[in-house]
Structure 1
């Protein structure tokens, strides 16, 4: 469990202040990468610990910082274990108060600022904000209640509306957990043995069943999420060649991400690029670029854009 591992890591550092990543990984029975992720999470939470590079480097607890993690309650340790979440997301999980309590305890153990803070901590210099711009919480269920229900590791019956469908569907799934991504929450679960991503914005209701969840033995929340994330962000096999105004290239990169590639140098203010989609209907995303873009190939994509633009123009005709 990550919370107990963080506690053990803190106690080890308190006794020695500097330990190599390899030794920590061996003693905690995890990978070196996991240790570095734990250190990053603790640093984000305000714990004065960091990774020092070099032959004599390792994981370091700043001198004078006498942390006594045994004073932290289990819920406070849990708040630290999800330190990557911002204040709004912690509030959604009802962890804001315990996170603040843990921070106060750590600050108290470090002593007065004049004694222990010759340099600013990472928490003074780094602010993590996980919400997207102009976003509001759109979860259709109480996220904290869902997280609590997930502790039982039981199957769930959910009422869910798939994207593009008007009617809700009832599904029985085997859940791994929930993920916060760019201000949106997702339930990660197996549906008939296949990992799926369920947006909480379209999750109408959930019910915990008596049957234990049947999870794939070689998978966990992080591994299933990594697969789903890669699948979602992959460019796709349907390639569209476009002509784009150079002044809109930065905007296109922000909107399209890894979908846009093979960008040529600008010629007379225009450049060409290839955009990867999973199907032809996805080209409707390009309508938002208005007269700053022209679909060149394939002919089917060009024809689909023409039809979509014509329908849009006819719908807004003032005659």
Structure 2
């Protein structure tokens, strides 16, 4: 929020030339002391701002200052606008307003050349709606509660201190300290429901000093499987989208030999089955057997005479 306030202060000064600290404090709903700290930050960054005391005094930007030539190179301006536009995916407040103002200052009109959207086609906007809630809870160090379903289908209630939002492998996750497990965890956002920000803050929790913020692991579980897969070239379009090239070897018959390590769980079986008869699990034998059992159960389901009648 401070960065956006700094840019807006410069924009105001470019338009008004002079304004009092009280006026800025009232506009941004912060203290006068905070405004003076912002001015100090701007002057240390090379922006020629000075203050005058007495009647008619205030905070002033030197007349010869031009933001787009004195502070930032053309490439740097483009990078700032691109970064702001990328932030729109998180529903970050005031992004559109800041983007419009800086586009005007930089004299650029072509700021809509890219749209960043991490959601899948046809999905709802649940993840986006949570960003503002999570961000505020992280900044205010507030405890949140929610219901969670892990990849095994197990349901549970959690109370956590959120610490970071993560985007990895096409999905958003929340890194948090789980008060129930007394350890760091990572939760997949689209498996969270009934999310509430509580009135509890970290400072109010008992035995805060005993909390151990060790590196988090995925909440589903830690057990992993070393997989050896044989995949048909007919689905090569998926292979290079979903696996690193270093894990792929092309066999003489054109099939792909893939070696990966992945967490075990219900999701893994669903994923492997999504390849249909184009993928065979060579190792490990327990996963190969489990897939065989599931395929047999599917066959039994469709062989049911009642369903076919």
Q: Compute the TM-score of the two structures, normalised by the length of structure 2.
A: 0.59
CA contact (8 A) 2:142 2:199 kept: yes
Partner of 1:310: 296
1:264 to 229, 236, 249: 249
- Residue 61 of structure 1, aligned match among 47, 54, 73: 73
RMSD: 4.5
Larger Rg: 2
How far off its partner does 1:172 sit? 2.8
Matched, 1:101 2:116: no
Partners of 1:135 and 1:125 lie apart in 2 by 23
Aligned to 2:199: 209
Does 1:153 pair with 2:141? Answer: yes
Change (3 A) 1:150 1:215: farther
Deviation at 1:251, TM superposition (A): 0.4
In the alignment, the residues of structure 2 paired with residue 215 and residue 134 of structure 1 have an alpha-carbon distance, to the nearest angstrom, of: 45
Distance 1:9 1:177, change over 3 A: farther
Q: TM-score, normalised by structure 1?
A: 0.57
Post-superposition shift, 1:48?
7.1
Relative to 1, partners in 2 of residues 1:209 and 1:84: Cα closer, same or farther, differing over 3 Å? same
| Aligned equivalents of 2:87, 2:210: Cα separation in 1 | 27
Q: Which runs of 5+ in 1 are unaligned?
A: 16-46, 50-58, 66-76
| Equivalenced residues, count | 240
Q: Is the 8 A contact 1:242 1:295 kept in 2?
A: yes
Alignment correspondent of 2:3: 3
**SS of equivalent to 1:249:** helix
Which whole-Å deviations, capped at 9, do the CAs of 1:56-112 have from their partners, x for residues lacking one?
A: xxx94239x8xxxxxxxxxxx9x998653345x32xx5x2xx22221222233234x
1:164 counterpart residue number: 152
Q: CA offsets, 1:95-141, max 9 Å, x none?
A: 2xx22221222233234x6xxx9xxx7x4654433333443223497
Moved more, 150-159 or 307-316: 150-159
Can you list the C-alpha shifts for 1:180-203, whole angstroms capped at 9, x where unaligned? 557754332101442212233323
> Cα deviation per residue 1:164-221 (whole Å; 9 max; x = unaligned)?
345442x3322224445577543321014422122333231324233425599997xx
The answer as to whether partners of 2:4 and 2:98 remain within 8 angstroms in 1 is no
8 Å CA contact retained: 2:84, 2:99: no
More deviation, 237-246/277-286:
277-286
- Equivalent of 1:196 in 153, 169, 185: 185
Give 1:299's match in structure 2, choosing from 275, 278, 285: 285
Match of 1:273 in 2: 258
Partner SS, residue 252 of structure 2: coil
3-state SS, counterpart of residue 251 of structure 1: helix
